Amino acid sequence: MLENRVLLETQRKAHMEVIKHILSITQLEKQYDMLNIVNKKIIEVLRDSKLKLVEAEVVAGGQFPEDEDHRDHLSKLIQNTLLYGDLALRFPTFIHRQYDGKKTTQQLIKWCFDFVTKANITDGTSAEQTLHLASQELNIVDRGDNYQNPFQEEAEIKLSQLVKEEMKKSKKGKKKGPRLSNKKTEL
């Protein structure tokens, strides 16, 4: 079990590099395109992993699967659920647009969060807090009275900076003042 937690922490470091890369994108449209691609891939992997685990009757918190394929799907489910949680905390505006009002996505994410929580693999790791905070952010569980997304303010500042930069770029392209047309007119 300890080696699984070490592997989980190693994988989380790789996920944080993905998040840092997305945060480093300075064009809002490109950042949203990247987030959209990552979000779609996560949902696809989670849907596939859930299907395989349900078919194999793997129970959260039960005995760790011995079959290599089932362990692989369990690993993918845990890692991608945590990555989705990280994205929900760091890019709440984007994730809520993709999540709120989409019943099938909400049901899938809720199932995955419940499964990972019951699996107890995140206990004692940084992933445990991420899972708990993201569950509140996505309203999977009731938000505590003192709930606050630790990345909310940072995300709002970054978003407003990107919007301002986009507006500056669009204003630079427009020239003010009178213009001559290229049409040739006969007098």
Condensed to tens digits (0 to 9), the pLDDT of residues 64-92 reads: 778 888 888 988 999 999 999 999 999 99
At 133, phi and psi to the nearest 5? -65, -40
Is 176 exposed, middle or buried, given 0-12, 13-18 or 19+ CB atoms closer than 10 A?
exposed
| Nearest alpha carbon to residue 165 among 21, 22, 23, 26 | 26
Can you tell me the distance from the alpha carbon of 82 to that of 85, in angstroms, rounded to the nearest whole number?
A: 5
User: pLDDT tens for residues 17-48?
Assistant: 989 999 888 887 888 899 999 999 999 999 99
Over residues 94-121, the mean pLDDT reads 91
